[in-house]
């Protein structure tokens, strides 16, 4: 049997999954929702995930309603910010990968050049004949 805490945790996790950003205002929304769910949990000792959805709504609908009622300027600013962070991260990782590939290529070229180079030297040992 799944406990109420596990049901609440999976419900909140699903809501967080659908939020495009998760900053202070979204944390406050989640906190308020958790408080309301805890009140519901205290009133109803045993409930299922579907009963939670019937009482509060599906996670997608809750997030859609939150986004409709949220400050458009805040959402726009936060989405642009997270988009920039993602782009910077992608370009940084790409630059690191390219740099490592170039370093590996140069290391291989040095190895190949050293391996294929012909070192010619002749060692001449001059010994004195002591028989005379």
Residue 35 above 70 pLDDT? Answer: yes
More confident residue, 1 or 93: 93
DSSP 55: H
13 vs 39: CA distance, rounded Å: 18
Tell me which of 40-49, 63-72, 117-126 is least confident: 117-126
Cα torsion angle, 106, 108, 110, 116, sign: negative
Q: What is the pLDDT of residue 91?
A: 97
- What is the residue whose two structure tokens read 């205290």? 42
Q: What is the pLDDT of residue 49?
A: 86
58 vs 11: CA distance, rounded Å: 9
* Interval 61-69 mean pLDDT: 89
What global pTM score does this model have? 0.61
Q: What is the pLDDT of residue 21?
A: 84
52 vs 90: CA distance, rounded Å: 39
* Interval 18-40 mean pLDDT: 89
């Amino acid at each position: 049997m799944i406990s109420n805490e596990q049901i609440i945790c999976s419900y909140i996790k699903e809501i967080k999954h659908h939020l495009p950003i998760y900053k202070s205002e979204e944390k406050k929304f989640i906190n308020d929702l958790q408080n309301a769910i805890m009140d519901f949990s205290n009133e109803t000792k045993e409930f299922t995930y579907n009963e939670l959805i019937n009482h509060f709504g599906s996670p997608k609908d809750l997030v859609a309603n939150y986004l409709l009622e949220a400050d458009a300027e805040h959402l726009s600013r936060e989405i642009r910010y997270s988009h920039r962070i993602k782009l910077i991260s992608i370009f940084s990782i790409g630059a690191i990968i390219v740099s490592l590939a170039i370093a590996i290529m140069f290391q291989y070229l040095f190895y190949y050049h050293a391996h294929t180079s012909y070192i010619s030297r002749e060692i001449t040992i001059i010994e004195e004949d002591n028989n005379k």
